Amino acid sequence: MNPKRISLLILLLLFADQALKIWVKTHMHLDEAIVVFPDWFQLRFIENNGAAFGMHIATRGGFDWGKLMLGIFRIAMVGAVSWFMVHLHRTRKDTPKGVFIGLALIVAGALGNIFDSAFYGLVFSESTPFSVAQFGGHYAGFMMGKVVDMFYFPLFQWNGVPRLLQFLVDSNNYFFGAIFNLADAYISVATIYLLLFQYKFFSK
């Protein structure tokens, strides 16, 4: 799989992620939900300051150092994975297309969430439960913007969930409780795919 096709795939994935996030950001109030399939699939608009699936890295003080470090980590990951793809293309002619696709998904996912953090605070007004964000606002500095999440799958209530597994449910004990975006899905699907189906290639 040549670099031009990989680059095009990354751009298409990134465009899909950003187009959905911008639509949600500019059409929905914070915490507004659109029921797609009753009882198990909603588009629910939330924002988070931290990692994937709505998680947050807490830090003390007024400046969010955890968010900055996460942004730097994501940028470093994009650079490392991109370099690795170029390295595979040049030195490992036996690399399966699936490996390149999986790595491209990871790069696109990381870039998608980097864009939110880097630019959304600079170009949008703040989303609230009572107002929809508008272009041309400014609610945070560079790399301090919030990541837009929208996919919510409250499949069933799991009352009495063990403490060790509470990360699997939301505040109302619904499984799967995390709210996430396309970028998160890209990274998760690619990681599982590479571990399950391409481990033989990486073990050589």
Annotated catalytic, 184?
yes
Rounded CA separation 186/179 (Å) = 14
Do residues 123 and 145 make contact, with C-beta atoms less than 8 angstroms apart? Answer: no
Report pLDDT for 50.
Answer: 62
Report pLDDT for 128.
Answer: 96
Annotated catalytic, 94?
no
Rounded CA separation 203/12 (Å) = 30
Report pLDDT for 43.
Answer: 97
Report pLDDT for 48.
Answer: 86
- What is residue 111's three-state secondary structure? helix
Report pLDDT for 57.
Answer: 54
Q: Residue ranges of the chain with pLDDT lower than 70?
A: 50-63
